Each structure stands twice: as structure tokens, then as C-alpha cells.
Structure 1
């Protein structure tokens, strides 16, 4: 997997993502449209949102594999999922390990590289029109209870990305991480999907969403525990985000940032001291 989508140059003085006017999207999401459609049956809605196909053969395959193999514990469960899940995924490389009780939606839009590890109770939700919608590079690790959710967008993770437990990645546009990004637990990353709130005569949830260009984390970054990174942000290569930070502006290469909102602490490459 290349880093072309995650190598945008960032500076503190000029940041096109921060200053570009946000675009807006229709507040009536695909999920709402499907659920409100009175012309389709409950089964058709289920197939559209979960399987991503109106094929009864795909529905039968999905139900059989996820119902029988999904909750199966131990080595036998790992082995059977490794061998049989590949028939419903878009692509599964060699040596992939998928834990028990992993929720999978639109599996044909999910591409997993070699030796990927998906821990127990994760969610891989590839709903939308992108194909593929979720791409995970070789030797990546997705920690327990972590959610990767596409809402019409795409999530692309590079080789050897390591995402710890209880993280949430949501993409209505594009969310990318370069190679060897390290993410500690309980992080929240959102690409798109922030509601506008200019009007006070209608609820915030009914107002159009704003989109600021997606979220891009370049290679070799270290993201601390309980970090929130918002739409429109690019994190430069080899940057470090301190635990608990809320990042609402782009971060230059090699920078260390922290706080709410996140602010520059020092630069690993240009500052004299080598210690945080």
C-alpha cells in the first residue's frame, strides 16, 4: 500500500484544509433512506444494510458463515474463519486471523492484506458505494472492540498499522493511515459527518453535515490514548499526539502536539532537545 494519500505537506502558518470552506452533504443519510423506504420489505432492508446485496445466495452464505463460525471460540474457530471467510470477503491475504464475534457488514467491500489480525468483538462495517471501502495492509493489528465504520466513505490502513482496543474510526469521506502508525486505546477518528448548527429552528441532527476533506495520518505516527482527531486534519509523518488530545488542526511532520485543542509542543526533527 502506498502513502500517496497520506503525504500532504502541512505547516502551521498555512493549512489549506483548515482554511478551505467546508462542503455540506444531505442530512438524509443512506441509512435513513433505506429505513424510511416504505416500498421495501424488512428483509430487503436487512440485506441492503448488512449483506450489501439483493442476492439470496450471498445472504445464505453470509448468514451461514457468520452465524456458525462467528461466535466459535478457540483454535478451531480461528482456523475455520481463516479458511472459509475468504469466500465472502473482497480479498483476504495469507495468514489472516479473525477473532470471535466480529461484526461484518458488506464483506465484499473489505480487503485484508497478509497476516492481518482482527481481535475479538471488532466491527468491520463497509456500508456505502465505495468498493473497496475498507482496505487493511499487511501485518496490521486491529485491537479488541475497535470499530471501523464506513458511511459512504472509505478507510485505508497501511502496512503494520497497530490500532489498540476500543478505538472508533468513522468515515463519510476518506480516512487514511500510513505504514507503521501506532494508535493507543480509546481513540476517536472521524472523517466527515459533523453536523452544522447554524440554524436554531431545527434540530442539529436534521441539519446538513459538513465535510472538510477527510482525515489523513501519515506514516510512522504515534497517537496516544483517548485522542480525538477531527475531519479536515492531516497528521504529518513521524508526528506524535499526546494522550487525551483533541486535534482540530493539521500537524506538521515530526511535530509533538498535545492538549485540548491540541497545540505545538516541539518538533522532533528541528528542536535542539531530543526529549519530549
Structure 2
């Protein structure tokens, strides 16, 4: 199949294959969408800090401070993705990263508190409706998959003094680190200061407020370790 061969070339993976059959009409529709995404991407590439390959932009994608975005090969930003890369480290994408529709990636929230930024490793796929707040820094490893509506927060508001308005008590920022080869289920929330080890599985809907070691399976609100994959 021609399209399959093209994808193998783009991914530099001779073993890549489609598991399901498609009609000619399916293939034409898929190719047409990707073609227009690539054309839109050509308009963005000159403004990016670095881009090593094609950039595929869906409809209504909004990118601010593109001069702070670095991308490897074949970045995909689906429809209605919003990226604000303003931050100390910018937003960095590895090779073959895809960001699902209606997702938001923020390097900075409040302008008066410039953020750290976001780094996403190669072959990582983030599903629709994700929110990545990189104010305190978010680092995501390689080969991570995320279900829809995952939220990651990398800063907290201080609130210990009841006599002072919460928004005037300042912020704490520890950052979030997610290792490689992780599966984050749909609707999961990961809070500031958490490190998720390599090979972890986070159940859908979990709220992770403590770090978890490699190859852990966690679930619940707040999340706890159910068992190890080893």
C-alpha cells in the first residue's frame, strides 16, 4: 500500500503497518486531510525556533510565541489545539509527536509569573482535550500514550494564611515528570510535584498527588498503587 510505505518513510520505521483494511475512499479522505495539514504547517515552520521535519496543523490551531517552539520530525497538532510557548524553556516536541484536538499547552499562565515550559519526548501521543500547564515545568518521556481529557498541573497556589486573599499568597512550583513508556488513562489528573516512573499505568479518572515508582499501576482519588507490572 502506497500510503503505508510513505508513513514508513516518514517514521523511519520499516516495520510500521496498518492493522486494519481501508477502502480507496477512506484512503483518499485521510490523505486529503493530511495534505492540507501539511500545507498549513509550512506556514508555521518559518516562525518556529527549530523544526526537523513536517508539521501538520489541523483547523483553527492557535500558536503563540512560536519562536520558542522546537519540534522534531512529523509534529501533528490536530484541530483547535492551542499552544502558548511563552516560558523560560519554551515548548519542545520530540519526533513523531501528536497532540489531539481541543488540547491546550501553556508555558505561562499569568504573565507576571513566567513559566518553565513543556518538553514532550518522541513517539508520544496525547489524546483530545488534554490540558498541560507547564508553569512549573512538565517533562514527558518517549512512547507515552494519554487518553482524552488528561490534566497536568505543575504549580500550586499557597493558601495557608486565612487572613490573606489566596491569589495574593504566591505560588509554589515543583514541576511534573512523566517517564517513558507510560499509559495515562482518560480523565486522569496529575498534580504538581509528582514524578511518574517509567512503564507506569495510570487508571482513567485517577488523581495522582504523589510520585510513583517505575512499572506501577495506580488508580483512585487520590491515586494509590494497586500493583506492579513486574
TM interval, shorter chain, is: 0.7 to 0.9
Determine the structure 2 residue equivalent to 1:180: 143
Determine the structure 1 residue equivalent to 2:63: 104
Determine the structure 2 residue equivalent to 1:263: 224
Q: Summarize the Cα distance change of 1:206–1:115 in structure 2 as closer, same or farther, 3 Å threshold.
A: same
Q: 1:155 aligns with which of 109, 118, 134?
A: 118
The count of corresponding residues between Structure 1 and Structure 2 is: 193
Find the aligned partners of 1:110 and 1:98 in 2 and give their Cα distance: 14
Q: 2:92 aligns with which of 135, 153, 168?
A: 135
1:26-71 Cα deviation digits (max 9, x unpaired): xxxxxxxxxxxxxxxxxxxxxxxxxxxxxxxxxxxxxxxxxxxxxx
Alignment partner of 2:204: what SS? coil
Preserved CA contact (<8 Å) 2:48 2:67: yes
Find the aligned partners of 1:208 and 1:177 in 2 and give their Cα distance: 26
Q: CA deviation at 1:199?
A: 1.4
Preserved CA contact (<8 Å) 2:34 2:56: no
Determine the structure 2 residue equivalent to 1:41: none
Alignment partner of 2:225: what SS? strand
Alignment partner of 1:172: what SS? helix
What TM-score do you get using the length of structure 1 for normalisation?
0.67
Q: Does 1:125 align with 2:84?
A: yes
Q: Does 1:233 align with 2:194?
A: yes
Q: Which has the higher contact order (CA 8 A, sep 6+)?
A: 1
Q: Summarize the Cα distance change of 1:156–1:195 in structure 2 as closer, same or farther, 3 Å threshold.
A: same
Q: CA deviation at 1:149?
A: 0.3
What TM-score do you get using the length of structure 2 for normalisation?
0.80
Q: CA deviation at 1:84?
A: 2.3
Find the aligned partners of 2:164 and 2:204 in 1 and give their Cα distance: 36
Preserved CA contact (<8 Å) 2:146 2:184: yes
Determine the structure 2 residue equivalent to 1:86: 45
Q: Summarize the Cα distance change of 1:170–1:88 in structure 2 as closer, same or farther, 3 Å threshold.
A: same
RMSD over equivalenced CA pairs, Å: 1.5
Alignment partner of 2:45: what SS? helix
Tell me which structure has the larger Cα radius of gyration: 1
Q: 2:171 aligns with which of 184, 205, 209?
A: 209
Q: 1:200 aligns with which of 152, 162, 169?
A: 162
Q: CA deviation at 1:197?
A: 0.7
Preserved CA contact (<8 Å) 1:77 1:100: no
Structure 1 gaps of 5+ residues are 1-72, 270-276
